[in-house]
Every structure is written in C-alpha cells, then in structure tokens.
C-alpha cells in the first residue's frame, strides 16, 4: 500500500535514510549524507502533502516525494517535453526490502499520480555516482536530459524526464 505520509512516519523515514546513506557510501555514492536529506526536509514534505510512503504489513518500507519544485539547475536544460510536470525528489527503500519491487511500485505510483494531477511528464535527477537510481530511471523509460551541479557535490547530477 502507498499512502500519504504523516508526522508519525518520521522515525521510520529517518531510519530508512540512515540505512540508505550507509548503502550509498558502500556503493561509492555520496549523494546523501548527514546534511541531506534531513528531518526538516521530510517534515516540510509532510506539511505540504507531497511525501508518500510504501507500507508492507503496517511497516514503512519506502518513500517518495513528488511536487512541482524544480532545482535551480533545471532552468538551464532543454526539456524535450513541454507542459506541466511533477518532480520526483527523495526516493528510498529500506535496505531489507530492496530488490523486492518496492521501488518499482513507488515509481509506478509517481507516474500515476502525475497523470491524475494533469502533468505530462515527470522530471527527476540523481547523482552521477548513484548507479542504482540511474539504472532505475533508464529501465523505466526516463530520457537523459543533461547534467547539473548542486549541493556542493564535485560531480554532476544526471537529469531525466519521462513523458506520460
């Protein structure tokens, strides 16, 4: 089940973040760390109604944030799809639940929600060293748009779009 997140979900979300940061470091990616994402990011997402959680047997096992807020670096890119778009931010799966389809369900949910809200595309980005997310985006039919730099990272973030 995927539902809108509530403040009660914050401890589970932060536990997923902690596990994800450790996994990213082990895999060679420094996309997330102790400075991003923080509890404040998720509290803000919840207040805005833009954070969704995946549950299995009453346990939060993943999350995704969807809104229309685009990073500054998106402005310099040429987008092949015109029209309203939702932006996918902060997606993660609890380490014990990886490779069980949770990420695919969250991505399918994001695409369905975007369609329901009248978006013609989903825009997203991930650090160039985050092999898992880069692979997930391309496997789901997302088109590489370009690169941008953000959050003081030395390497670029790959930016993608999917027409809906």
Helix (H, G, I), strand (E, B) or coil at 98: coil
User: How far is Cα of residue 47 from the mean position of the Cα atoms in its chain?
Assistant: 17
Classify 54 as helix, strand or coil. Answer: strand
Find out whether 161 and 79 touch, Cβ atoms under 8 Å. Answer: yes
Domain ranges (residues) in the chain: 2-163
Average pLDDT by stretches of 10, the chain with 164 residues: 98 97 91 92 98 96 97 94 94 93 95 96 96 94 96 92 97
pTM to 2 decimal places? 0.94
Given strand 157-163, what is the order of strands in its sheet? 2-4, 51-56, 59-67, 85-93, 121-127, 157-163, 143-148
- Let me know the angle formed at the C-alpha of 102 by 98 and 6, rounded to the nearest 5 degrees: 110
Choose which CATH entry (3.40.630.30, 3.30.70.920, 1.10.3720.10, 3.90.1150.10) describes domain 2-163: 3.40.630.30
Strands (E) located in 11-156: 51-56, 59-67, 85-93, 121-127, 143-148
């Amino acid at each position: 089940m995927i539902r809108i997140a509530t403040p009660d979900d914050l401890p589970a979300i932060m536990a997923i973040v902690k596990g994800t940061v450790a996994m990213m470091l082990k895999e060679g990616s420094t996309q997330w760390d102790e400075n991003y994402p923080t509890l404040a990011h998720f509290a803000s997402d919840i207040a805005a109604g833009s954070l969704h959680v995946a549950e299995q047997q009453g346990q939060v096992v993943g999350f995704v944030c969807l809104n229309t807020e685009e990073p500054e670096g998106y402005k310099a890119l040429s987008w092949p799809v015109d029209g309203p778009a939702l932006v996918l931010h902060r997606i993660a799966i609890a380490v014990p639940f990886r490779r069980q389809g949770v990420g695919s369900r969250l991505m399918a949910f994001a695409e369905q929600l975007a369609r329901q809200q009248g978006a013609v595309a989903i825009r997203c980005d991930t650090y160039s060293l985050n092999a898992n997310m880069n692979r997930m985006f391309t496997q789901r039919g997302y088109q590489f748009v370009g690169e941008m730099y953000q959050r003081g990272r030395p390497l670029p973030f790959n930016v993608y779009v999917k027409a809906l």
